[in-house]
Amino acid sequence: MEAPELRSPPERLERLVQALIPPAAREAVAGDLRELYQSSPQYISMAARTIPFVLISHIRRNANPPVLAIQGFFLFCCIMAVSLVPEGPLGRALAVALSALFLIGMLLADAYQGADPPSPKRAIIETILVTASVVMFVLHEIFALRAAHRLADSEFGLFMWALVPFAMPVLAGLRALMILARERREQLLGERMDPSELKAQYRHFQAQTRLRSWIQSLLLLGSAAGFACLCATYPVPAAALAWSLVSIYAVVGAYLLINGAAPGLPDKADFLSLRSLFQSELLRQHEIRRLIFWLWPTPLLFAVFAAVTTRPRSDIEPVLMLYALPATVLLCFFVAIINRERNSQIQEKIGILARMRQRQGP
């Protein structure tokens, strides 16, 4: 008897379904759907039931809740500062809703981005678009302040010449330097290594994490002490939120001091267990550094939040809207691209470790 003919979905339909699957699971999920194909309606129904679960699982595994909270806080502050958003409870509710929508969009974009870093062309275009958006926001606020007679002619020229000519070239130049650093980065892990070489690489990594954890811990605990003195000495708006920020800095600093460094090697670690330990610790250290990078702009976010939520918009100083908020946006964008570059670097190392084989013989 002849074997039954294998059926496969139409090429265009399969391409569409594959595009909807997150890149990290695309090959495995698309292969399973192809094997179970019977008809186009059945294929579409099965994909519609499978892809949402795959997407949610991917987002849940890769989401960092503290980082998401800081990003949501950042979005809320930026939306509340826009003059088109109404003041009062209605404006706050609108800002919360828009922040949640933006966060969902960011999670979906991260899920479909994949582990590979963006191409140089795409990275520069993203930088130009973000900087252009900031410049457009500043121009909108400048003309709104001019219409309200809250911005003098001398200040108008100062803001225009200080921001527009320098913001885009500087940020684009920094992004280009990051791309060059990525291309020149030396990879010390190989496809085949003996246990002694891998142990040496791990010990070097462990020493780096120990030094970095101590430095970051001292900076965070010192910042927490400074913020606490400031909150205790002067009347700070949104005092509960200010003390929450002090507590977060203190808790994260204490965690880094106690458990921030990579653990030591087990006494009798074989090649497979050492490789697994290296992979898990790379991922843990990356999540810690993601949070640390996002913690540093948080005091600026707090200042913007206190200004836009505790006073009428007409009482907010123009310098806050035209300098502090754009600077915070560009700083947070810079943090985001640093984390993205680091994520691609960590995923590359984890992939090499997953494929690594023990070298045999001399």
Q: Is the pLDDT of residue 169 over 70?
A: no
Task: Tell me the domain boundaries of the chain.
Answer: 1-62, 63-358
Cβ neighbours of residue 104 closer than 8 Å, sequence gap 6 or more:
none
For 172-200, the pLDDT digits (tens) are 677 777 776 666 666 667 777 888 888 88
Residue 196 exposed, middle or buried by CB count within 10 Å (0-12, 13-18, 19+): exposed
pLDDT greater at residue 210 or residue 121 = 210
From 97-101, 156-160, 352-356, the region with the lowest mean pLDDT? 156-160
Rounded to whole angstroms, the maximal C-alpha distance in the chain is 91
Q: Both tokens of residue 42? A: 């059945």
Amino acid at 342: R
Of 322, 344, 277, the C-alpha closest to 113 is 344
The pLDDT confidence band at residue 255, using thresholds 50, 70 and 90, is very high
Tell me phi and psi for residue 124, to 5 degrees: -65, -40
Can you tell me the distance from the alpha carbon of 102 to that of 345, in angstroms, rounded to the nearest whole number? 26
* SS3 label, residue 357: strand
Neighbour tally for 71: CB within 10 Å: 21
Can you tell me the distance from the alpha carbon of 159 to that of 142, in angstroms, rounded to the nearest whole number? 8
In this prediction, residues 152-180 reach a mean pLDDT of: 64
Q: Is the pLDDT of residue 3 over 50?
A: no
For 258-279, the pLDDT digits (tens) are 998 888 888 777 888 888 888 9
* SS3 label, residue 121: helix
User: In the chain, pLDDT over 90 holds for what percent of residues?
Assistant: 12
Cβ neighbours of residue 101 closer than 8 Å, sequence gap 6 or more:
none
User: In the chain, pLDDT over 70 holds for what percent of residues?
Assistant: 80
Sign of CA dihedral 334, 340, 341, 346: positive
The pLDDT confidence band at residue 89, using thresholds 50, 70 and 90, is confident
pLDDT greater at residue 1 or residue 92 = 92
What's the confidence (pLDDT) of residue 150?
A: 66
Q: Both tokens of residue 100? A: 């949640």
Cross-strand partners of 192: 357
What's the confidence (pLDDT) of residue 209?
A: 92
Q: Is the pLDDT of residue 82 over 80?
A: no
Around 322, how many Cα atoms within 13 Å sit in the side-chain half-sphere?
A: 23
Asked whether 43 and 32 are in contact (CB, 8 A), the reply is: no
Q: Both tokens of residue 310? A: 């505790």
The pLDDT confidence band at residue 162, using thresholds 50, 70 and 90, is low
Look at phi and psi of residue 28 and say left if phi exceeds 0, alpha if psi is from -120 to 50, else beta: alpha
Q: Is the pLDDT of residue 314 over 70?
A: no
The pLDDT confidence band at residue 316, using thresholds 50, 70 and 90, is low
Amino acid at 44: I
Most confidently modeled range among 48-62, 150-164, 190-204, 296-310: 48-62
